[in-house]
């Protein structure tokens, strides 16, 4: 999961929410401002720092709601500020800075799942690859691909974040869920199957970053050479 912390605190999000040190998520920090918040739209979950300045935290949440930033917003707030929280801020959940890793993980997962469930179905198109979330149909140059549910979910997740590299653990968590106890080799197996179904001409669409993980490689969709290992 990719998190963006909207905060002016020194040290970034992990100093504000120490439990994140123990969780396998990517993290970016942006300024506590309208510009920073709008720049956070690529996140899976937006964390808003309201530990120091309740008014600024409230304003950041309202800006996200007014700008239709289609990402869940979680407010990080101190015990002393809880009484000031109002639904009118427009946030989706809240966390205390001292929250333990298990609680932070569960709240982030649930808020992301709720957001995905409420988001209208869409047909994504990247180059000659089209993915219809409503019908679970995938077409490559107009040719339908016969994918299993998990293969579809894996390809859709990579296509939703073109060019971004994900570790096997991240893909396992996002596509299979945290209640899946299999090993990360499951990811490798499904990547191989997806490449086989894409065919020799397009198998490089899914790139391997050695020692890190996998990414969907948009250049290979536009006829350029792609590489995978």
Q: Cβ(71)–Cβ(45) under 8 Å?
A: yes
Q: Cβ(72)–Cβ(113) under 8 Å?
A: no
CATH code of domain 2-118: 3.40.50.2300
Using 50, 70 and 90 to split pLDDT, how confident is the model at 175? Answer: confident
pTM of the model: 0.55
User: Is 60 exceeded by the pLDDT of residue 220?
Assistant: no
Regarding predicted confidence, which is higher, 225 or 7?
Answer: 7
Which residues does 37 contact at the CB level (< 8 Å), separation at least 6?
6, 30, 46, 48, 60, 63, 64, 67, 69
- Span 110-120, average pLDDT: 77
Find which of 5-19, 66-80, 144-158 is predicted with most confidence, using mean pLDDT: 144-158
Q: How far apart are alpha carbons 8 and 48 in whole angstroms?
A: 10
For residue 141, the model assigns a pLDDT of 87
Regarding predicted confidence, which is higher, 5 or 127?
Answer: 5
User: Is 80 exceeded by the pLDDT of residue 14?
Assistant: no
- Span 64-86, average pLDDT: 86
For residue 49, the model assigns a pLDDT of 92
Using 50, 70 and 90 to split pLDDT, how confident is the model at 12? Answer: low
User: Is 90 exceeded by the pLDDT of residue 95?
Assistant: yes
CATH architecture observed for domain 123-222: Orthogonal Bundle (1.10)
Using 50, 70 and 90 to split pLDDT, how confident is the model at 223? Answer: very low
The neighbouring-strand residues paired with 5 are: 29, 47
Instruction: Indicate the domain borders of the chain.
Output: 2-118, 123-222
For residue 13, the model assigns a pLDDT of 67
Q: How far apart are alpha carbons 60 and 33 in whole angstroms?
A: 7
Using 50, 70 and 90 to split pLDDT, how confident is the model at 51? Answer: very high
- Span 204-223, average pLDDT: 80
Chain segment 122-173, per-residue pLDDT in tens:
556 777 888 887 778 899 988 899 999 899 999 999 988 888 999 998 898 8
- E strands, the chain, in order: 2-6, 26-30, 45-49, 73-76, 93-95, 123-126, 129-132, 137-140, 143-144, 166-167, 206-209, 213-216
């Amino acid at each position: 999961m990719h998190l963006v912390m909207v905060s002016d605190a020194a040290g970034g999000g992990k100093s504000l929410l120490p439990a994140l040190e123990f969780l396998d998520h990517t993290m970016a920090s942006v300024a506590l401002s309208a510009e920073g918040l709008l720049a956070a739209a690529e996140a899976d979950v937006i964390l808003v720092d309201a530990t120091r300045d309740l008014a600024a935290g409230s304003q950041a949440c309202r800006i996200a709601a007014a700008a239709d930033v289609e990402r869940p917003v979680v407010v990080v707030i101190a015990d002393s500020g809880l009484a000031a929280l109002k639904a009118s801020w427009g946030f989706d959940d809240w966390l205390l800075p001292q929250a333990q890793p298990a609680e932070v993980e569960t709240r982030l997962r649930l808020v992301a799942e709720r957001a995905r469930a409420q988001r209208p179905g869409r047909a994504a198109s990247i180059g000659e690859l089209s993915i219809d979330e409503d019908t679970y149909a995938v077409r490559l140059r107009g040719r339908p691909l016969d994918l299993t549910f998990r293969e579809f979910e894996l390809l859709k997740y990579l296509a939703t974040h073109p060019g971004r590299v994900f570790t096997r653990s991240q893909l396992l968590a996002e596509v299979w869920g945290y209640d899946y106890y299999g090993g990360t080799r499951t990811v490798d197996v499904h990547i191989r199957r997806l490449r086989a179904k894409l065919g020799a001409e397009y198998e490089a669409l899914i790139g391997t970053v050695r020692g890190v993980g996998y990414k969907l490689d948009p250049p290979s969709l536009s006829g350029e050479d792609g590489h995978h290992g």
